[in-house]
Amino acid sequence: MENILLKPFETPYNAVPFDAIKAADFKAAIVQEISKSKQEIEEIGQQKEAPNFQNTIEKLEACGEHLGIITGVLFNLNSAETSTELQDIAQEIAPMLSAFQNDIHLNEKLFSRVQQLHQKLDKKQLTEEQKTLLDKEYKSFIRNGALLNEKEKERLRTIDAKLAQLSLHFGTHVLADKNTYSLQVTDKEQLNGVPETALIQAKKTAEEKGKEGWIFTLDYPSYLPFMTYAENRALRKELSIAFGKTGFQENENNNEKLILDIVQLRQERAQLLGYSSHAAFVLEERMAESETNVKQFLNELKNKAFPVAKKEWQEMEAYAKSKLGYEKLEKWDTAFVAEKIKKARFDLDEQALKPYLPLPKVLEGLFHIVFKLYGLQFKLAQNIPTYHPDVNCYEVYKDDSFLSLLYTDFHPREGKRSGAWMTSYRSQKKEQRPHVSIVCNFSPPTEDAPALLTFNEVTTLFHEFGHALHGMLANTTYASLSGTSVFWDFVELPSQIMENWCYEAEALALFTGHYKTGETLPLEEVKKIRSAAQFHQGLQTLRQLSFGTLDLSWHNEEAHKITEVKAHEKEIMQEFQFTKDTPSNCMSTAFSHIFQGGYAAGYYSYKWAEVLDADAFELFLEKGIFDPATAKAFYENILSKGGTQHPMELYRAFRGKKPNPEALLKRSGLV
């Protein structure tokens, strides 16, 4: 039978025909497309015609386009709707793709053409975007071993193949450990305080597993409500410790050796290419530019946040002792105690907000907000296949012209990794519009009610939608410079700035509405949300800084000397934490952002981008949160431009100046 992945997709907008793809199709299609792309590469390198931008750089840019679509489908499904078969295929394919990338960047004839163009081409002949693409392609060859000798190139190939497999193994282990554990409770008395919506879902989970009572899992919509509201301290401890054991147990899913192997190989790779560390290699192509700058940035924020965090912690200790009788505050108490204090201080009950935040209404309101900002309209597609019944697909229009497809996938399931992310199935380029997807793990609907979101889930939705806007509104000539293809510490600006609208009364009126009565969230509750926005910002900032510091420590010049994962993590994290260490727990073994995703030596970028987003949103506050001119400027200079220029140039074109860190400190209440 003909492989559907090798044919043009006969679907509206050439959407992925998920309903017709079989797992077995992937390997054969990818092997064939790699072979085809290799031939294209050889033809580019062996041209007799002298190199020019069109016959070398543009042809190289177009090479392997369909291969990228097929592999994108495979790896996206491996994250959102995986199976043992898909995991095995991904493991087999990853080193093949790594080898293919090496075949490109280690091809001497091809590099010679690119190098000749980079050194001799009159740049005045090129557009700004073409200059950026040429520079990016040249650097890509250098940073992937083009200047190495044959022995070194062969070692680089081996390292890249191993790293591709190890990162996949890491993610598979995390998912397997998460799915293995569940907390079963048969006595409802032990569940005092747990919200009714969480109880309903836990009951449903138990029924699906054919068990009595209530079952809580390590999925965030199950885990977080329990840790925040359950009065049973012993059960909170049990669930917390189980969560912290992910990838750190004496079983086949242990990630300790994987981490050490990944760290060693990344360090070796960096040194092979002439860098002192993996962090130095990564940060060369970031706004931050160097490890020294990142450390300075993290330390300056820590110095601002630590005194505030310490005061917040002491307040929690005092409350826990006087109100709850806890002699010592433990990590499984923190969310519970923090929620008690928040409710007492602001009279804000997060659970009481949920009826006003049904997912359909929030999504409708979000669509309205981006219509007011950017003129986007969303139409639920009726005839475009998706990969799971929970997934919806929208046709997105701007000024009555088709702009993009948007897939939405909101609820947890066994084959889906935790967290939330945006991804794409088709990139934007000249005369091609993108297909993007947002994937989350929100509280699911019940028989009696739609999915009711926590306010934190609302901000997560707005965050991921910001990434989606970056993809959907892209308007560049070349796919590799489009959408989210920007410096990693700039990519979070469009996502994090969107979170600001969650706290503005004018926007809240659009996305809140009681699921039974339709009543908009009362104004007094809006005021409470705004008042509570700075709650425990010291502790929250310190937590993010600890993750950024831990990440950097795994990728600096000394990282290769680490021999014990837990001991190293404990040493780094102790200066950021007020609770004692839990020996059976380890965060690094489930730190998928840096060992499976693309945030290695880049986790600091969340805080870095907060500086940008706080400064950028100040202009919206000054002009009006729906001011057309400001929104147009953000669209034209940030959202549509992708990576066509250096991010600081794009930011200054929007804001008229460099970002001011004081905006973040003020918003967070740290000054």
Catalytic positions, please? Answer: 464
Whole-angstrom Cα distance, residue 511 to residue 240?
33
Which residues make Cβ contacts (< 8 Å) with residue 193, sequence separation at least 6? 229, 230, 231, 232
**What token pair was written down for 213?**
């009572």
The CA-atom distances, in angstroms, between 320 and each of 311, 313, 441 are: 14, 10, 31
**What token pair was written down for 333?**
């108490």
For residues 508 and 473, is the Cβ–Cβ distance under 8 A?
no
Chain centroid to CA 127: how far?
Answer: 32
For residues 660 and 528, is the Cβ–Cβ distance under 8 A?
no
Whole-angstrom Cα distance, residue 287 to residue 403?
29
Please state whether beta strands 421-426 and 392-398 pair in parallel, antiparallel, or not at all (unpaired): unpaired
**What token pair was written down for 311?**
């005061």
| Ordered DSSP codes for 30-61 | HHHHHHHHHHHHHHHHT-SSPP-IIIIIIHHH
Whole-angstrom Cα distance, residue 295 to residue 565?
21
For residues 369 and 510, is the Cβ–Cβ distance under 8 A?
yes
CA proximity to 227, closest of 354, 353, 359, 336 = 336
Residue 104 neighbours by CB distance under 10 Å: 22
Query: 82 in the Ramachandran plot: left (φ > 0), alpha (ψ -120 to 50) or beta?
Result: beta
Whole-angstrom Cα distance, residue 15 to residue 391?
14
The CA-atom distances, in angstroms, between 48 and each of 108, 121, 175, 564 are: 15, 18, 51, 55
Beta bridge partners of 422: 438
Residue with tokens 């066994």: 414
Residue 615 neighbours by CB distance under 10 Å: 22
For residues 208 and 195, is the Cβ–Cβ distance under 8 A?
no
For residues 405 and 452, is the Cβ–Cβ distance under 8 A?
no
Whole-angstrom Cα distance, residue 220 to residue 335?
13
For residues 487 and 459, is the Cβ–Cβ distance under 8 A?
no
* Phi, psi (rounded to 5 degrees) for 554: -80, -10
**What token pair was written down for 108?**
């001497």
Whole-angstrom Cα distance, residue 450 to residue 637?
38
DSSP state of 133: H
**What token pair was written down for 327?**
């002699």
For residues 497 and 637, is the Cβ–Cβ distance under 8 A?
no
Q: Which helix (H) or strand (E) holds 316?
A: helix 291-324
